[in-house]
Structure 1
Amino acid sequence: MDSSHEVAIIGSGFGGLGMAIRLKQAGMHDLVVLEKADEIGGTWRDNTYPGAACDVPSHLYSFSFEPKPDWSRKFPPQPEILEYLRHCARKYGVMPHIRFGTEVTEARFDGEAGLWRISTTTGQLSARVLVAACGQLNRPALPDIPGRDSFGGIAFHSARWDHSADLDGKRVAVIGTGASAIQFVPELAKRVGRLHVFQRSAQYIIDKPDRPYTALEQALARHVPGWRQLQRALIYTLLEARALGFIKYPWLLAPAAWRFKKNLHAHIKDPALREALTPDYPMGCKRILLSNDYYPALAEPHVELITDPIERITADGIRTRDGIERKVDAIVYGTGFHANDFLAPMKIVGLDDRELNEAWQGGASAHLGITVSGFPNLFLLYGPYTNLGHNSIIYMLESQIRYVMGCLRAMRHARLRWIDVRPDVQSAFERRMQQAMRDTVWSRGCTSWYMTADGKVVNNWPGFTFAYRNATRRPDPRHFRVRR
């Protein structure tokens, strides 16, 4: 395992694979991809729960350089996305560069040598450049509920679904009602005898315009020149038009609010249940969800929605604050991820032995979401301020990858040992982000995974995606300190 490479990439999801592909296309073959699991795919490898699918249309949820003409549906299901990633890794020759079962525990920058010294569960290696493509949604979060470890039945997080668990006819509790839960709750409702759904806060859920693609549509995408590009451009434009509602004028989300009310009233006839499912915060403050079957599932007689706070998990059930204890055979946690801990639990040490978690004590920050001052030759993909509420993250990732490639070309051309974004440049970017964030809907009275515990939004990009692409079009040499 002890080896040296030009570039080491952590993670083999969309970001890591896209980075590796672009490196190889540019003739940079001295690279290694470090993957802690035994397969590629990132979040689409981990989330195999029933009903798992994407809420971004298929033709936009793919690399621009590798379109897929034969998507089965308008919104891609998890198995199809994972197979697409496998196809990309095989086609572009990335698989030989991947070291599976290799989890990074520490990366320490050696300023004199200009190398990252990387410790993993399978040994040591070094790299001139370190690209962290870990994503924001890769570490499942379990709720801090008293008695959680005392439960004697089946229990697992939705991102680690236990497919061996026999849930048919059983009493099952679901804790959490986020993006994953609204997909697997309807599937569970078809199987279990009794389903208790514990909701902390209501979500805005609108109808999902999903359907299978016809054979004619697939043929057009495969054989008609420009058809795929036109579909992709139309989808992108329609989604991008929603940005103003998130970043500046929340009243522009009124059509989506109307769709929410229509969807809710169409499927929920019980006034009390309808009220419980109505959010008390502005639309868009939390992620807007898409589903056609979540509300119908909650209306089933064997499904119960509970809004009273959970007091304790017992050995054989869940007790809420009103004193009611519901006996269950299994608990499924749909409680999201540690989205603000971007590189945890890795230990990242930069110049002057400074740790990244120390630099990020006030919340994660990176210039353009990519580079962190004091950590030379470290590049983040899907880092702070790069998540979206309205469009495809693949578009953002390709912008970041192009920026990193620009940095690497500049380093090679000028024969630089390392580059490090200047602290004043990063601070200025951070100020612009937080100033822009004040106008967004994400800062208007709700708590979400977009923000830190003290209420600072650090995950999302407060602008148009084309503005981000323009900002990352090429690295500005004036933004960096360099060592030749």
Structure 2
Amino acid sequence: MASLPRDGRPPRVVVIGAGFGGLGVTAELLRAGFSDVTVLERADAVGGVWRDNTYPGAACDVPSPLYSWSWAPNPDWGRRYSGQAEILAYLERTAAESGALARVRTGVEVTGLAYDDAAGAWTVRTAAGEEIAADVVVPALGQLSRPVEPAVPGHEDFAGRAFHSARWDHTVDLRGKRVAVVGTGASAIQVVPGIVDDVAALTVFQRSAPYVLPKPDRAYTRIHGRVYRRFPAAQDAGRRLAFWITERFNATFTNDGPLRKLLIGVWRLRLRRQVRDPGLRQRLVPPDPFGCKRVLFSNDWYPALDRDHVDLVASPVTSFEPDGLRTEDGRRHPVDVVVWCTGFAATEFLAPLEVLGTGGRDLRETWADGAHAHLGITVPGFPNLFLVYGPNTNLGGSSILGMIEAQARYLRQAVQRVAAGAVLDVRPEVAARYDAEVQGRLRDSVWSGCASWYRTDGGRVVTNWPGLVREYAERTAVLDPADFRIGHRDGVPAAHTGSTRGSQVTHRDGSQPRGHEPAHESRDGRRPGPAARPPASG
């Protein structure tokens, strides 16, 4: 059980967002014995990106055995790379079984957070005017939750329909229609093959070509499920193998080793074999280094573009016409439906929330040059605020759930200290030193070589982690109190040293915080010990 201050009141925790991040943290806190956890979700259901992205062909690009919780392996995945509906069902089921689902309030949009220095607590404000008091706030809004639609002139004159892939309009029947897909990123390479057989004509507008590798997908047979249920170690071995492979893939973004050269060779061979037209092949050659933008996986993207009724346009869209789109080269493209596959505001962390920390400092001003946080979790001047999937915690490859689990374990240790009365504010010098290290490593990575959604307009990479998942799990395994200025949520002066390194920790009863020691991540991405069932990917 978590230690409590003398008044017996457990810490009030408010989690914002009910996707994998918010629900994973909630499940971790519930397992540790914290009951006063409320999850606020603006939508009418849980699921995050897997609730929102219902476009044709929506699926994961990480193997299902790895794109799942280490504490909830699923022997019944239908495919190696599961689709949107199956992943959403898994998320809902594990949220219910862990108790996290019962803590969710849907239809509640958070508009702002404000820290009260005297009380050592947060006020969470909602669009409905409600104010909720919290000792700990956990924003879990994700990096891919706010779709971006370009402001193209003439939209109001367009006679057809237009929508973003993440807000797919299922009332629009695409059969026999002339359809435009704007963008060639991760969503587009699934949307285009998903609709190509239905439409009369398909025009794909490309800003820059991506690298697209083969996707080793397959349907699982009933035998797989039987074996995994009877012999969990078999599924565990599959997870271990997927983790090892994706860690090797992650390493290609920070070093120019033989694997990168091999992957480029595989891409080049696949392009040549699947695209007949030499002119089209040339337009599909990326102008950027391998990995500079997100590397994609598909077996049917290139064949779809090679169809007779599909046209790839490499000129930017400049305006709407009443019956279509016009591009920079002056061409007019008649279309009935426009699908924006133009990504998300990934670098605008926590937007549009107003977040005010100690002394009323505004997080937007703190992040004026780009978002940053110690370990991607904590920001100086914003005590007891812990981000999930925050700055520099995204991956070029592998499963983000491994990063989320590591953050959840770190956050659980923080809440254990808050439960004993502490207020944790990461030291500015600690955060600055960490940020300098991360940005230095990122400058040596492939992500510094081109403009992408990984970077701000100023060139700072704010989304991605420069190392392996294993390294991040090891660095977040133990919360070091010396990294924090530790006060008391009732304002009582610090009176007890809670670390051999000299950081002062204050409790209501003057004792050192107690709580469970963190579970360390093993090298295959699993949690050891009784809480870790054999692991079974997105």
Shorter-chain TM band: over 0.9
Which aligned pairs between 1:461-480 and structure 2 lie closer than 5 A?
461-480=465-484
Q: CA deviation at 1:121?
A: 2.2
2:250–2:395 CA contact under 8 A, matched in 1? no
1:198 matched to which residue of 2? Answer: 205
The one-letter code sitting in structure 1 at the alignment partner of 2:57 is G
Instruction: Name the structure 2 match of 1:8.
Output: 14
Q: Which runs of 5+ in 1 are unaligned?
A: none
Of 365, 373, 386 in structure 2, the residue corresponding to residue 358 of structure 1 is 365
Matches of 1:307 and 1:72, distance apart in 2: 37
Q: Which residue in 2 is equivalent to 1:116?
A: 122
Runs of 4+ that moved beyond 3 A: none
**Does 2:471 correspond to 1:458?**
no
Q: Deviations over 1:256-289 (max 9, x none)?
A: 1111112111110101000000001111111110
RMSD, aligned α-carbons: 1.2
- Contact kept, 8 Å, 2:11 with 2:419, in 1: the verdict is no
Determine the structure 1 residue equivalent to 2:295. 288
| Cα deviations by residue, 1:164-188 (Å, 9 ceiling, x for unpaired) | 1111101111111100000011112
Report whether the alignment pairs 1:76 with 2:104.
no
1:184-221 per-residue CA deviation (whole Å, 9 max, x = no partner) reads: 11112111111110000000001110010122222111
Give distance in 1, aligned partners of 2:157 and 2:412.
50
Q: Does 1:253 align with 2:257?
A: no
Aligned to 1:443: 448
2:24 to 18, 23, 26: 18
Q: How does 1:47-446 map to 2 (within 5 A)?
A: 47-122=53-128, 123-249=130-256, 252-413=259-420, 415-416=421-422, 418-444=423-449, 446=450
CA distance in 2, matches of 1:209, 1:108: 47
Q: For 1:16 and 1:225, how far apart are their aligned partners in 2?
A: 27
The answer to whether the Cα contact below 8 Å between 2:75 and 2:224 also exists between their aligned partners in 1 is no
Residue identity in the other structure for 1:472: T
Contact 1:206/1:289 (<8 A) preserved = yes
- The CA distance in 2 between the partners of 1:385 and 1:251, in whole Å, is 26
Length-normalised TM-score, structure 1: 0.97
Instruction: Give the Cα separation in 1 of the matches to 2:315 and 2:284.
Output: 13
Cα shift readout 1:346-405 (whole Å, capped 9, x = no counterpart): 111101111111100000000000001111110000001100012110000000010111
Distance 1:423 1:161 in 2: 43
Question: What is the deviation of 1:326?
Answer: 1.1
Bigger CA radius of gyration: 2
Among candidates 39, 42, 55, match of residue 36 of structure 1: 42
Cα displacement (A) at 1:458:
1.0
- Aligned to 1:60, the other structure's residue is in SS state coil
Give the distance between the partners of 1:40 and 1:412, measured in 2 at CA: 27
Contact 2:326 2:332 in 1 (8 A): yes
Q: Deviations over 1:231-277 (max 9, x none)?
A: 11111011111232111226531111111112111110101000000
Aligned length: 478
Relative to the length of structure 2, the TM-score reads 0.87
CA deviation profile, 1:317-369 (whole Å, cap 9, x unmatched): 11112221111111000000000011001111101111111100000000000
Distance 1:332 1:259 in 2: 30
Amino acid at match of 2:90: Y
* Paired AA for residue 465 in structure 2: W
Correspondence for 2:4: none
1:113 alignment partner, SS class: coil
Which of the pair has the greater relative contact order for Cα pairs under 8 Å at 6+ separation? 2
AA aligned to 1:27 is G
- Residues 52-90 of structure 1: per-residue CA shift (max 9 Å, x gap): 000000000001001101100010111000000110121
CA distance in 2, matches of 1:152, 1:225: 55
- Code of the residue aligned with 2:474 in structure 1: it is N
Aligned-pair identity in percent equals 48
Unpaired runs of 5+ residues, structure 2, are 1-9, 489-538
- Counterpart-to-counterpart distance in 2, 1:61 and 1:474: 24
Counterparts of 1:246 and 1:343 in 2: how far apart (Å)?
27
